Amino acid sequence: MSKIIQNINSITEFHRFLNLPKPKHPLISVINLEEVTFKAEPIWEHFTTSLYVVALKQGETGKLKYGQNAYDFDEGILTFTSPKQVFSITDAHEIDITGYSLIIHPDFLQQHSLIKKITKFGFFSYATNEALFLSDKEEQILISLLKSIEQEYNSNIDTFSQDVIVSNIELLMIYADRYYNRQFITRKNQNHDLLSKVESILSKYFNDELDNVGVPTVQYLASQLNVTTSYLSSMLKSFTGQTTQQHIHNKVIEKAKELLSTTELSVSEIAYQLGFEYSQSFNKLFKKKTNLSPLNYRTSFN
């Protein structure tokens, strides 16, 4: 029997499950995690929310699964989750946590450009165990922004309140984006392993599995690595300066050059073998990448 996924629809409901007083604002809340009391309730076994949640966790016991993977944190980290992403918390009665959590209902952002930008921040769609690890200085910067948000919605509401809060949220996202790019650089070994896997999967696709239909897609590559497309693109772009699609095209051209120079297959046969439905599409890509047509490339070896 499949597990029933329960959804937390509102910030008020979220507060109730965390044994907190009613929120001071129905669409946004900053929670001091020291005040949270987890109880072993069925909802924690498999749940989603209708909210954006940014959590700066400074210490935790207990286990949190996000998608199919456990978060890889033992220290101060930042996590981002979007509406309808699936979680499970085991040993909820044993959780001991400090830090802060920013909870945002999408309706709070509806009149602001941030509602469109927020989905473009890759860290909101990571389906792997890639949390953001923070230095002490970075942690303090983000905590100060969270406290500014808290102070603003605790103050007397006026016509500027929402704009001030949203501006602080956006600044927090920009800092997080900067820190994620720093993390991709400082955690090169892990990223190098992923890059090696990308190359291995693409090589296998073209060398051992040429009965595959079509050129490999970004979605295919991400699924083979058990990461989301946005995570994969962020990692590759930061580490190599190229997008996932560019990596795929480079591998296509590499294999095409091999077949053009070492076999007597026609250009149409090579295009079909590489997964192109139409040879014109292959010719266009090859010329764009090499400034030569496939035939001109082949004749250059004669």
Last residue of some domain: 168, 186, 204? 186
Q: Is the pLDDT of residue 71 over 70?
A: no
One domain, residues 239 and 262: yes
Burial of 294 (0-12, 13-18, 19+ CB in 10 A): buried
Q: Is the pLDDT of residue 191 over 70?
A: no
One domain, residues 220 and 171: no
Range of the domain at 253: 189-299
**Single pTM value for the model:** 0.60
**pLDDT, position 205:** 84
In a domain, 88, yes or no: yes
pLDDT digits (tens, 9 = 90+) for 49-68: 899 999 888 765 555 555 44
Q: Is the pLDDT of residue 186 over 70?
A: no
Last residue of some domain: 186, 219, 234? 186
Q: CATH number of the domain at 246, please.
A: 1.10.10.60
pLDDT digits (tens, 9 = 90+) for 94-127: 566 788 999 999 999 988 999 888 877 877 764 4
One domain, residues 148 and 292: no
Give, in order, the Cα–Cα distances in Å from 106 to each of 22, 37, 180, 195, 222: 19, 25, 23, 35, 27
In a domain, 1, yes or no: no
Last residue of some domain: 186, 204, 221? 186
pLDDT digits (tens, 9 = 90+) for 14-45: 999 888 999 989 999 999 988 887 776 777 77
**pLDDT, position 184:** 64
- Cα 236 to Cα 242: distance, rounded to the nearest angstrom: 6
- Cα 206 to Cα 276: distance, rounded to the nearest angstrom: 12
Mean pLDDT along residues 138-166: 90
One domain, residues 112 and 231: no
Higher-pLDDT residue of 266, 74: 266
pLDDT digits (tens, 9 = 90+) for 203-234: 888 776 555 567 888 988 888 888 778 778 87
- Cα 190 to Cα 171: distance, rounded to the nearest angstrom: 28
- The total of structural domains in the chain comes to 2
Q: Is the pLDDT of residue 241 over 50?
A: yes
